[in-house]
Amino acid sequence: MKVKIKRLLGSVVIGIFMLSLFGCNAVDENQAQTVEELLEERYGIEFEVSAIGNRYGNGESFKLEAIANPLNNKNINFNVFLKKDGESVVDNFMARLISSKINKVLKEELNKIGVESESFILTNDKYLSVDITDPNIEIADYVEQVGTEYFICYTIVKESENMDPLSFESALKTIFEYTANTKFNMNINVYPEESYDKLVKKFISLSSFGSSALNDFESIDEYKLVYDQEGFHNNRE
């Protein structure tokens, strides 16, 4: 009899555990769908939520945070916060989209000199209250509307024979012109091939950038380059 009771209790515990897991997944799916719908309403394109993160208490402004990406580009990961009312979101999608557009051009320019790279670009914008929701906006229009004062670019590159900082000048000039002649600060970390191949996967998946993003890998060289109205500057000299 005791054995049967133990088995019964075990089954009940397992059942409750499975139900709780199912309930959490259902909640996550519902909240993810809410976030996706709000993002689509905001930007006019489809999104998918890849992860649900922190949930906030009643005294907070937000209900939860998540990581999402547009369906047409899984490499543009960004942070999104669902407001407490559950009817609107705050996110950094446009900033990540601008970063992706600049990275694409920069990769192409650096490939011309045999340099393989990935970049994460941050913007220093003067008019933070300006709400831009057009994914097709040109970089020059974005810069004008939000008053971008300068860009900060964090670039990882694979070690190659073309690691002379001066060889980057042409690429930076192209980016400077592409970003409506906006000051462009470029921080470059050079990695050996094996480390780069591992790091690049992590780098592409970032939804925001912090100094800890590169902590797991040791670079073999670093450059700090700038292109502004006065031209190219190699701050390593």
Q: Tell me: the pLDDT tens digits for 23-45?
A: 346 557 888 999 999 999 999 99
Task: Put residue 114 in one of left, alpha, beta given phi > 0 → left and psi -120 to 50 → alpha.
Answer: left
Looking at the fold, whether 99 and 215 belong to one and the same domain comes out as yes
Looking at the fold, whether 103 and 20 belong to one and the same domain comes out as no
Looking at the fold, whether 10 and 70 belong to one and the same domain comes out as yes
**What is the identity of the amino acid at 174?**
T
Looking at the fold, whether 73 and 124 belong to one and the same domain comes out as no
pLDDT, residue 57, reads 65
**CA atoms of 156 and 172, how far apart (whole Å):** 15
- Which of the listed residues 91, 117, 141 is the one where a domain comes to its end? 91
% of the chain with per-residue pLDDT over 70: 85
Label residue 174 by pLDDT band (50, 70, 90). Answer: very high
pLDDT, residue 18, reads 35
Give 201-215 pLDDT, tens digit per residue: 889 999 988 877 788
Q: With a cut of 80, say whether residue 162 has pLDDT above it.
A: no
In terms of Cα–Cα distance, which of 214, 161, 170 is closest to 188?
Answer: 214
Q: Which helix (H) or strand (E) holds 207?
A: none
Range of the domain at 42: 2-91
Looking at the fold, whether 87 and 127 belong to one and the same domain comes out as no
CATH number for the domain harbouring residue 69 = 3.10.450
Residues 127, 146 contacting (CB under 8 angstroms): yes
Looking at the fold, whether 24 and 41 belong to one and the same domain comes out as yes
pTM listed for this prediction: 0.83
Q: What are 136's two structure tokens?
A: 């097709």
Domain count, the chain: 2
Q: Which helix (H) or strand (E) holds 98?
A: helix 93-111
Q: What are 138's two structure tokens?
A: 């040109």
Q: With a cut of 90, say whether residue 146 has pLDDT above it.
A: yes
Looking at the fold, whether 82 and 97 belong to one and the same domain comes out as no
pLDDT, residue 13, reads 37
pLDDT, residue 58, reads 63
Looking at the fold, whether 172 and 222 belong to one and the same domain comes out as yes
Looking at the fold, whether 218 and 119 belong to one and the same domain comes out as yes
CA angle 41, 43, 48 (to 5 degrees): 80
Looking at the fold, whether 207 and 112 belong to one and the same domain comes out as yes
